[in-house]
Structure 1
Amino acid sequence: MENKIRVLVVDDSLFVRTILSDMLSLDPEIEIIGTAKDGDEAVSKVKKLRPDVVTMDLIMPKADGIQALNGIRDLDESIRVLMLSASDRASADHIIKSLELGAFDFILKPSSTSSTDILRMKWDIITKIKAAYHSTGKGTVEESPHVISTFLGGRKRGRRAKGVPDHLVAIGSSTGGPVALRYILSSLPQEVNVPIVIAQHMPKGFTESFAERLNSKCDIEVTEAKEGEMLERGHAYIAPGNKHMEVAASRSGLEVNLKEGERMRGGRPSADILLSSVADAVCENSIGIILTGMGNDGAKGMKKIKDSGGQTIAQNQESSLIWGMPHAAIRLGVVDQVLPLADIPRALISLRGVVS
């Protein structure tokens, strides 16, 4: 096959470098062009070999994965970097930071040597290498702090409307989503009058770290959602990794329901499940937003919001790291506005009921 995907494997363990190289070499579309044992060697080999994709261990002696990522981005931002990580909390914090710095995505190292875990990792890493190679969008946006805030003041001290929310925003995202969500949420003013519920494809443990990171950068509150909590205005809720999240209308207001259930289109949390529940809960007062990500999760949920009389927005191709999810919704004909990421916050607050 011509034009194979040229991959550099970086890990401080010779065993892991060998296993990964052998695993990836079995795919006819992938060519391993080299390996590196630490971040310094990785940057040197990237400069010499110019790979298409780099698989990068997070924790290494000398220069670690984040330092190497910065070095590679300085050399050539078109080279996609996939971070490899354990599933502990410290690694989660570092992975969230690496995504903000421009890593394409990340892969969890298997928690055991069982054939099921190894095969799951093989499928995950090969799928993401191919997605990284074929991605065309930048997936980045210029920093623009609080571009649509309407007044200056202390963080999280703005005027908040009282009472049970009657409008609700639901967002679905995957690859590239952490950067897109950070931009949207950090651009929203303190006067946001609606709850925002979010299904970002991310493993258990990582969503808590992600929510805390967002909360430190936003004027609205951002937390990982909890079972049974009532949604509040001016508050964003991130679905926990490995849980589906639904919103149900009750006498007391809008309530979070979490469940495991089967993976939907490879994902848990599922954007389809979340968006569909929002359509059921608030009907024509629902707003659906679908952001960058692989696959077609969220398209059916966007259709349900549209059919319920709600409003829908999709990220455009140019600003999406991967345009799979937005494109799927657009193909169904259920998107009212297709916008670059930089325009989505302003479009959102212009909709009825979003700002008090």
Structure 2
Amino acid sequence: MTATIRILVVDDSPFMRKSLQKMLEEAPDLRVVATARDGVDALEKIQEHQPDIVTLDIEMPRMDGLTCLKKIMADHPMPVLMVSSLTQEGAQATLDALSIGALDFIPKESSFASMSILQIQHDLQEKVRRLATSPRFHRLPGGAPHPAPPAAAPAPVKPAAAPPVRAAVPAGTSLPATPQADLLVLGSSTGGPKALQDILPALPASLPVPCLIVQHMPSTFTKPFADRLDGLCQVHVKEAEQGEPLKAGTVYIAPGGLHMTYGTRTPKGCIELSSEPMSSLHRPSVDVLFMSVAELFHGQALATILTGMGADGAKGMEQLKRKGAHTLAEAEESCVVYGMPRAAVERGCVDLVAPLPDIAGHIRRHFRI
């Protein structure tokens, strides 16, 4: 029998509180144990109800969401899902929240009409379900959730339809050193913004190859995210633009709403952006990027999959591996959601599995930087 996930909904709008509660409680395993109108109210309700996860609005009176989030992470660490505006200001605040410790966000349209709510219901339920069982947190008997040390982290709840793991987790301690890769490609989703913020600043400006990254994000978020990373990194980080030639030491973030692929219209490769294939579950898609590299790139590639829900990137990584690419996946112990890396491991196409704190080091050693 599936355990019921207990949720606190925090929003200053009575309409939003009721709407989120209704959407969540249509799933039999989700129950809203309380609602709160602002950050002060939320902290009191956390103490009283000990929820498994909090959905948290950003703009609220008395105590805003970011201030509340800081207090939650300091005093009652637990999974938090932000409810975020898709405006430029909302994007910046959401990126702040992810840096502070929120695990993910759901978009909140400014009008949030009934139709918008229906469209995000499934996404909301799945994110709450996955984040509440994240390896990043565990519940002590009779107490609030605390950050889980890696050795004690429980395995996340697996989807019912998931097949058993067919391949053993790679036991190596490093990536193959030769031949050194000529291109670095990387995919991530839930938990990815914080993971990328840990990895990319650890790479030196002398990174000898271009880096192409697909992070599942709305279109209004990817440029502020790239700009923020650029301010933190020695490598140059930017939102990718159609047709631009690839340069060593530059990291290209796929724009939200468009697929990014490797192109051959310039001698050293270029960025291609397109809305096709429209049938893809995600846009941008890690699989679409990886498959384009497998098809068109004739050098050696290093492909990495980080934390995220679902299986995007596993098929593409399998194709890259068949073409001789080196492959790296984030370990379950450090993932916010062990979905995308797990799918790649199950396909038997991963050279090395490593926890997040070790990934930048593996990349540096591979490129001898």
Quote how far apart the aligned CAs of 1:115 are. 5.6
Are the equivalent residues in 1 in contact too, given 2:334–2:355 (CA < 8 A)? yes
Name 1:92's counterpart in structure 2. 91
Cα gap change, 1:293 to 1:103, in 2 (>3 Å) = same
Secondary structure of the 2:334 match is coil
- Residue 21 of structure 1 and its aligned partner are, at CA, apart by 1.4
Change (3 A) 1:228 1:83: same
Shift of 1:255: 0.8
Query: Given that residues 177 and 291 in structure 1 are in contact (C-alpha distance below 8 angstroms), is that contact kept between their aligned partners in structure 2?
Result: yes
The change in CA–CA distance for 1:263 and 1:26 in structure 2 (over 3 A counts) is same
**Contact map agreement 2:9 2:56 (CA 8 A) in 1:** yes
The answer to whether structure 1 residue 29 and structure 2 residue 26 are counterparts is no
Contact 1:283 1:305 survives alignment (8 Å): no
* 1:142-181 alignment runs, 5 A limit: 167-181=182-196
Q: Match for residue 38 of structure 2?
A: 38
Match of 1:148 in 2: none
CA distance in structure 2 between the aligned counterparts of 1:324 and 1:13, rounded to whole angstroms: 33
Report if the CA contact (8 A) 2:135-2:334 is conserved: no
Partner of 2:163: none
Aligned to 2:353: 338
Residue identity opposite 2:50 in structure 1:
R
SS of residue matched to 2:17: helix
* Secondary structure of the structure 1 residue equivalent to 2:46: helix
The residue aligned with 1:258 is 273
Counterpart of 2:144 in structure 1 is none
Local SS of the residue matching 1:346: helix
Asked if the contact 1:243/1:260 (under 8 Å) is kept, the reply is: yes
Give yes or no for contact 1:174–1:292 (8 Å, CA) kept in 2: yes
Q: How much has 1:140 moved relative to structure 2? A: 10
- Offset at residue 282 of structure 1 (A): 2.5
Query: Once the two structures are superposed, what CA deviation does each residue of 1:242-272 show, in whole Å capped at 9, x if it has no partner?
Result: 1110011234321101111245663111000
Match in the other structure for 1:236: 251
Distance in 1 between residues matched to 2:193 and 2:293, nearest whole Å: 21
Task: Give the Cα–Cα distance (whole angstroms) in 2 for the partners of residues 123 and 263 of structure 1.
Answer: 20
SS at match of 2:257: coil
State the alpha-carbon separation in 2 of the partners of residues 93 and 246 from structure 1: 27
CA contact (8 A) 2:262 2:297 kept: no
- Alpha-carbon distance in 1 for matches of 2:346, 2:354: 15
Deviations along 1:166-209, whole A, 9 cap, x unmatched? 81100000001011111110001121110000000011110111
Letter aligned with residue 58 of structure 1: I
Post-superposition shift, 1:276? 1.4
Instruction: Kindly state the Cα deviation for residue 75 of structure 1 after the two structures are TM-superposed.
Output: 2.1
AA at the equivalent of 2:87: D
* 2:77 is equivalent to residue 62 of structure 1: no
> How many percent of aligned residue pairs carry the same amino acid?
41
Residue 132 of structure 1 deviates from its aligned partner by 0.9
- TM-score (norm: length of structure 2): 0.85
Task: Give the Å deviation of 1:61.
Answer: 1.3
Q: Distance in 2 between matches of 1:284 and 1:137?
A: 37
Helix, strand or coil: the match of 1:250?
A: coil
Q: Give the unaligned 5+ runs of structure 2.
A: 138-146, 150-180
**In the alignment, what sits opposite 1:135?**
134
Task: Check whether the contact 1:170–1:275 (CA below 8 A) recurs between aligned residues.
Answer: yes
Consecutive unaligned residues in structure 1, runs of 5 or more: 142-165
**Quick check: 1:109–1:121 contact (8 Å CA) kept in 2?**
no
Tell me the CA shift for residue 342 of structure 1: 1.4
The equivalent residue for 1:158 is: none
2:20 equivalent in structure 1: 20
Q: For the residues of structure 2 that align with 1:14 and 1:24, how far apart are their CA atoms?
A: 15
Question: Residue 316 of structure 1 corresponds to which residue in structure 2?
Answer: 331
1:160-239 equivalences under 5 Å are 167-239=182-254
Contact kept, 8 Å, 1:287 with 1:310, in 2: the verdict is yes
Tell me which amino acid in the other structure corresponds to 1:44. Answer: E
Aligned-pair distance for 1:23? 2.1
* Equivalent residue number for residue 121 of structure 1: 120
* Alpha-carbon distance in structure 1 between the residues aligned to 2:244 and 2:271: 6
- Which secondary structure state, in structure 2, belongs to the residue aligned with residue 245 of structure 1? strand
- Evaluate the alpha carbon distance shift between residue 265 and residue 329 of structure 1 in structure 2; reply closer, same or farther with a 3 A threshold: farther
* Residue 248 (str. 1) matches residue 263 (str. 2): yes
In the TM superposition, residue 110 of structure 1 has moved relative to its aligned partner by: 3.5
Which residue in 2 is equivalent to 1:149?
A: none
Helix, strand or coil: the match of 2:47? helix
The Cα offsets for residues 208-239 of structure 1, whole Å up to 9 and x where unpaired, read as: 11101101100000000011111110000000
SS in structure 2 of the partner of residue 32 of structure 1: strand
Letter in 2 for 1:302: M
* Structure 1 residues 51 and 269: CA distance shift in structure 2, 3 A: same
